[in-house]
Chains A and B, each alone.
Chain A
Amino acid sequence: MNNKYISDVVKNIPPSGIRKFFDLVTNSRDIISLGVGEPDFVTPWTVRKEAIDVLDRGATTYTSNLGLLELREAVSFFLKNHYDLNYDAENEIMITVGASEAIDLALRCLINNGDEVLVPVPSYVSYSPCIELTRGVPIYVPTYEKNNFIITPDDLKSKITSKTKALILPYPNNPTGAIMKKEDLEAIKDIIIEHDLIVISDEIYSELTYDGKHVSIASLPDMKERTIVLNGFSKAFAMTGWRLGYIAAEHSFIEAMNKIHQYTTICAPIMAQYAGIKAIYECEDDIEKMRKTYDQRRRLIVNGFREIGFGCFEPKGAFYIFPSIKKTGLSSQEFCERLLKEEKIAVVPGDAFGPGGDGYIRVSYAYSIDKIMKALERIERFAKKIF
């Protein structure tokens, strides 16, 4: 970026590791990609039909900034029903353009110049750049395979300073597939309270939890008032292209975030909002079916990688596995480039997800069983060459 007019903050954001790899992959032919971070299902028909119907009836306007009250009521019902969270539809929920906008809003309403935000890594690629864009400072909290990639009290404590303002809690995790169970959350709760931190809990994969039910940190005593819960429709309802997400938090946070949202976004698309209402009330069976399908694929692919000889952490959420490639002696980038070139399989180098990700690859199982089995054959052939 050598355009002198571009601001320093933007200039200083490092290029995305995923983007780099994307360009490589796009130039290859006949590849099997296991590199995708979105469901392979199309949105359930009921939901698509609703959008078509409301469009037909002329739903083409803005909505209130917070989003359609009916949708906020649906979200409130969903959060109560699924995670035992109590949020008032009128004051404590807002609808956003995906969890992506929600991440940005949560950070912007909290961060003063130089405030530190704790970001567990490996994790989703957006957190650090968004923190930097708000003039905050991302502080990485490494998580380790030996700890099931969760944040331990010691990891957390070691990174807290007087400038620490907030903690991003990205579970179920992209790319590791780790979840934090109730007892894991309880173990860090007191530290969070003691240091007066705000938790930005990105729960976009909450419905894709395969070992018990997802627990939101906001459901623990004394945590609701210091937690901003982010969630959305992209993953659970296979609605990535609709750009629909939401935030649940105490009214004062919602008010602050809505102040930004009203000027930068106005509102999420109205047809997506109407469709979201249907999704919540009528698609429980669809979610369950998709979850079960992911779970089958998860077992298949974890077993496949282990049998080939990779160490593979057993993910309990999302739709990724994060196998270790350390024994090959290759870096993640080298491994992925060679796998792409020699066997035409695309996976994402672990270092794209922050420090600590090198030595791992992210493999998505948002693909049919058939495709996963074909891909595993090629990966096995590749492994035989390099082990």
Chain B
Amino acid sequence: MSKKMDIIELLNENSRLTDNQISVITGLSEDEVKEIIKNLEEEKVLLKYSTLVNWEKTEKEVVRALIDVRVTPQQGQGFNAIAERIGQYDEVKSVSLISGGYDLSVEVEGKTMKEIAIFVAERLAPIDGVLSTTTHFILKRYKQDGVFFTDGPEDKRLVVTP
């Protein structure tokens, strides 16, 4: 069980680790590693091997916004049906049910602020059951998924110590 968690955590940190590297780090055989990863994929624990990109450093223009959405839950479905409905748009990168003053937090990606504003006005807000939306544009990312986009805290240790 804990070796399984080790592998999940290692891949979560760096999805490019090879089976061989994982086997060295965990002390498992390469075959065991392959087997565990295969099972995790089948159980849909591991869904995708993705990369964290700092788009600001590329030529692609990307704007992201976090949208607070208040909705009316549906009879027998709760929030699931409407959350999945919202999630169907390619522009929508994540949908989460959250506690607090509103219901769903939706992260949307577009080329410009205007494009996102239009998406919200014309596609998101009119959906049946959506009561209100509040759009927050992300201006600068400092840290995401545990990784600093800025330089982050430096190693404060002396370079060589006994």
- Interface residues, chain A, with chain B CB atoms under 8 Å away: 16, 18, 21-22, 25-26, 31, 33, 35-38, 40, 124-126, 174, 292, 296-297, 299-300, 303, 346, 348, 352, 369-370, 373
Contacts and interface: CB of A to CB of B under 8 A. Distances in A.
A335 to B, nearest CB: 15
8 nearest interchain CB pairs? A35-B160, A33-B159, A22-B160, A37-B161, A303-B24, A296-B25, A125-B162, A25-B159
7 contacts: A25-B159, A33-B160, A40-B157, A296-B10, A297-B25, A303-B24, A369-B13
B25 A299 contact: yes
Given A369-B13, A369-B14, A370-B14, A35 B161 contact: yes
Interface of B: 6, 10, 13-14, 21, 24-27, 155, 157-162
B80 to A, nearest CB: 35
Contacts of A346: 159-160
Contacts of B158: 22, 36
B160 A18 contact: yes
Contacts, number: 57
B156 to A, nearest CB: 9
A36 B161 CA distance: 5
Nearest to B161: A37
B157 A38 contact: yes
A161 B55 CA distance: 70
A30 to B, nearest CB: 12
A304 to B, nearest CB: 8
Contact of B162 (A18, A40, A296): A18
A176 B147 CA distance: 33
A37 B162 contact: yes
B84 to A, nearest CB: 36
Contacts of A299: 24-27
Contact of A36 (B13, B27, B160): B160
B25 A300 contact: yes
Contacts of B162: 16, 18, 37, 124-126, 174, 352
Contacts of A33: 159-160
B37 to A, nearest CB: 17
Nearest to B14: A370
A33 B21 CA distance: 22
A18 B26 contact: no
